[in-house]
A and B are shown apart, each in its own frame.
Chain A
Amino acid sequence: MSKTFSIGGIHPHDNKISINAAIENFPVMERAYISMSQHLGAPAEPVVAKGDKVKTGQLIAKANGFISANVHSSVSGTVNSIEMLPDLSGNLVQHIVINVEGDEWEESIDRSSEINRKIVHSPKEIIDKIAECGIVGLGGAAFPTHIKLSPPPGKKADYLLVNGAECEPYLTSDYRIMLENTEEILIGVKLMMLALGVKKSYIGIEENKPKAIKRMKEIASKGYPEIKIVSLKKRYPQGGEKQLIDAIVGRQVPSMGLPIDVGVVVQNVGTALAVYEAVQKNKPLFEGVVTVTGKCMPEQRNFRMRVGTTFESMIFAVGGFPKDAEKLVSGGPMMGKAVSRIEAASVKSTSALLLLTLEETKRGEEANCIRCAKCVDACPMGLEPYLLNRLSRANRVEDLEANMVHDCIECGSCLYVCPSDIPLLDTIRLSKAKVLKIIRSRPKK
């Protein structure tokens, strides 16, 4: 019996059309544009200068502050410049631009394909290695992993939950690594368990990925008894961390709380793989699996891609812009960001590039709310989006807080189901930011 979360949820078509595309290496680009803001928190500070020669995997920027992460070069070559360039939304962000010459890796990186099962590090060493290698959460938020694995004093983790749900339609990068790098992921999970000091861990996988569930169970049974593979019902947003915790261990994170408040830490399977590579292979985070897919594309691909690859070069590599592609999305179609600058480059947490057709993505014209309550049924946080939308448009900040707008996880289920095409999440997102700002500016008791 597959588990699932208790409130809300929708069932979009999963469109996993790239599910059978084995991971292939994306050809190394000619120029890499490596962003200093690839993670939540303060941008990293460059430690190289124009003209410096760098190797693949070399540290090129240091974490700047408590919540920050190191950035490593994904290519070898010469630093062309350090300048402000637009990200995919057009906002200027500091980038290190490197002219690629060959592909010489740092000598310390173990490039062999043998799986390294021997764990020699202590928990503290594991966390330090994760920080050194610039590992950030690859589930989308890019929160520095070493901080998540170090709960604040007074808070202890009972379980580590690993997110293999991949509930977003179209995305198959997590699926492919679960099939192709199964044991590496399990070792990564084991390392994280050691770092956290937990005895039990669960990996949740949606049941639309039966091959992955089978493979993971198979390898886990051969030496990883502390890791349990849990099958989850296919339902969006199962991959939301609060929903994952609710489904697997039956605990609900309270409002304004974090998973650690209910004794749980959640990490993505991609992060687990990155942790394995960092600790067991000395490889910093500079490449990841990116699904390039779309109904208008002749072929669906899953690439192992270096950080700093422009979206333009990705499109070029798959044969150019399909005629029907009208919108480019970095990430999943429910929570990803629409690309407005194709010259922008990928970052560590880039999981997919979607090419969506007009029919799929064009928004309908907004009509009156017919009070069907489908948004209320869909909201996984038990909120009332129709009400939050109306309060947002009237700027009723106190009522918005009373109706818990700050609990919104921005999953998009409400906008997806609305039969009147009301842009619910657009207005709710703005109010959520306003209310959070007010809540956070209150003096702490």
Chain B
Amino acid sequence: MKKLIVSPAPHLHGKESTKSLMRDVIIALAPSLLVSVYYFGFSAVKLALVGVATAVAVEYVIQKYIVKSKITVNDYSAALTGLLLSLNLPPNSPWWIMFIGSVVAIGIAKMTFGGVGQNLFNPALVGRVFLLVSFPVIMTDYSIPTSWFREGIDAGSGATALSIVKEGLARGLTMDQIFDANNFSYSQMLFSKIGGSVGEVSALALILGFIYLLIRRVIRPHIPVAIIGTVLVFSGVFWLINPESYADPLFNVLTGGILIGSIFMATDYVTSPMSKKGMVLYGIGIGVITMLIRYWGAYPEGISFAILIMNATVPLINMYMKPAKFGKEVKHG
């Protein structure tokens, strides 16, 4: 007689696994990765490879030899962190910057907290901010390396659109003057050619990724919509009051790390809230802090710091913003 399997109900399981979810995010990043390879050539490939390989290796080594627990590198979460971090670096970064970033991201921000699911802060962002603070010169050099694919693009200025704006404002120029001097246009920002980190260059590629993630039900739209909405409103108010000194809302959304940050970094499962209400509050918080840093802080871009600061508030958000319970409000049909 065959020995039957016995377990408590339910006896079926859905098809999703951590591996399949991480894989979907990597696929969603593919458009951005392809665009970056087109524009930055070998540099982008080098950064991505070093990032992923280091992240996976660090997790493997720590799990096998230091913590001596189950090895979970095949759930792709370390690989995803490495890839995301590589997309957040300036395109001309040396390989060892990527290496250090991955080691910090996985080793310190993820493994010291206990591995997958236990970290408080977004590992890729911790890596990025660590690098930014430790190697400010390299991390703010956005010069564009040569690529096999494209021709006729000048070796870039070495600055992002946001930093150009911030500098210009500090020197007393108006918005119109800054825009004219640098030939900023929206089509540029949407399709690329705006200076930025490897993954920021094409807003369209990022949006494609966002749509893919929504269709596959990997993320919910609440956090990105809340962040972008807040940024639009906040910058819109200031722009309406003083268009000379404040860039318009569309500029604010399409430049810098807002798109990649809100779609791929802030929506990281482990470090974001668990209820829809909480997610909206989280997104608003990130939007506000980002704009505060952009306008009055020392850095031209603030989303990395904003996300990390809001990460710290997530346990509090989870405690007080609970999902609506069934039966609490008795409706009468």
- CB-based contact B8/A367 at 8 Å: no
- CB-based contact B7/A363 at 8 Å: yes
- CB-based contact A368/B117 at 8 Å: yes
- CB-based contact B18/A370 at 8 Å: yes
Among A7, A338, A368, the residue within 8 A (CB) of B326 is A7
- B120–chain A nearest beta-carbon distance, Å: 11
Q: In chain B, what residue has the closest Cβ to A429?
A: B8
Q: Which of B1-35 contact A (CB under 8 A)?
A: 2, 4-14, 16-18, 20-21
Bound Cα distance A381, B325 (Å): 6
- A157–chain B nearest beta-carbon distance, Å: 15
Q: In chain B, what residue has the closest Cβ to A253?
A: B327
A364 at the A/B interface (Cβ < 8 Å)?
yes
Interface size class of B (residues with CB under 8 A): 35 or more
A334 at the A/B interface (Cβ < 8 Å)?
yes
- A370–chain B nearest beta-carbon distance, Å: 5
- B74–chain A nearest beta-carbon distance, Å: 11
A-B contacts at CB below 8 angstroms, number: 172
Of B46-54, B126-134, B149-157, B268-276, the segment with at least 4 beta carbons within 8 Å of chain A is: B268-276
A326 at the A/B interface (Cβ < 8 Å)?
yes
- A275–chain B nearest beta-carbon distance, Å: 26
Among A251, A336, A407, A419, the residue within 8 A (CB) of B333 is A251
- CB-based contact B324/A7 at 8 Å: yes
- CB-based contact B11/A249 at 8 Å: no
Interface size class of A (residues with CB under 8 A): 35 or more
- CB-based contact B325/A382 at 8 Å: yes
Bound Cα distance A387, B319 (Å): 10
* A336 touching B5 in the complex, CB below 8 Å, given contacts A255-B327, A367-B75: no
- CB-based contact A361/B4 at 8 Å: no
- CB-based contact B326/A333 at 8 Å: no
Could you mark each residue 315-326 of chain B with 1 if its beta carbon is under 8 Å from any beta carbon of chain A, else 0?
Answer: 000000011111
* A336 touching B11 in the complex, CB below 8 Å, given contacts A367-B72, A373-B269, A420-B18: yes
B332 at the A/B interface (Cβ < 8 Å)?
yes
Q: In chain B, what residue has the closest Cβ to A12?
A: B12
- CB-based contact A380/B18 at 8 Å: no
B115 at the A/B interface (Cβ < 8 Å)?
yes
- B222–chain A nearest beta-carbon distance, Å: 11
A262 at the A/B interface (Cβ < 8 Å)?
yes
B118 at the A/B interface (Cβ < 8 Å)?
yes
Among B9, B270, B332, the residue within 8 A (CB) of A370 is B270
Bound Cα distance A421, B72 (Å): 14
Bound Cα distance A80, B269 (Å): 61
Bound Cα distance A248, B332 (Å): 11
Residues on the A chain within 8 Å of B181, using CB: none
Of A105-113, A408-416, A431-439, the segment with at least 4 beta carbons within 8 Å of chain B is: A408-416
B180 at the A/B interface (Cβ < 8 Å)?
no
- CB-based contact A363/B13 at 8 Å: yes
* A417 touching B18 in the complex, CB below 8 Å, given contacts A362-B5, A426-B8: no
Bound Cα distance A404, B326 (Å): 10
Some 21 contacts from A to B, beta carbons below 8 A apart, are A7-B323, A10-B14, A242-B327, A254-B328, A326-B4, A327-B4, A333-B10, A333-B11, A336-B9, A371-B117, A381-B326, A381-B327, A382-B326, A384-B275, A404-B325, A407-B325, A419-B17, A420-B17, A423-B8, A425-B10, A426-B8
Supply 11 further A-B pairs (C-beta < 8 A) apart from A368-B114, A371-B269, A429-B8.
A10-B14, A255-B325, A255-B328, A338-B8, A370-B18, A370-B269, A384-B323, A410-B9, A416-B10, A419-B18, A421-B13
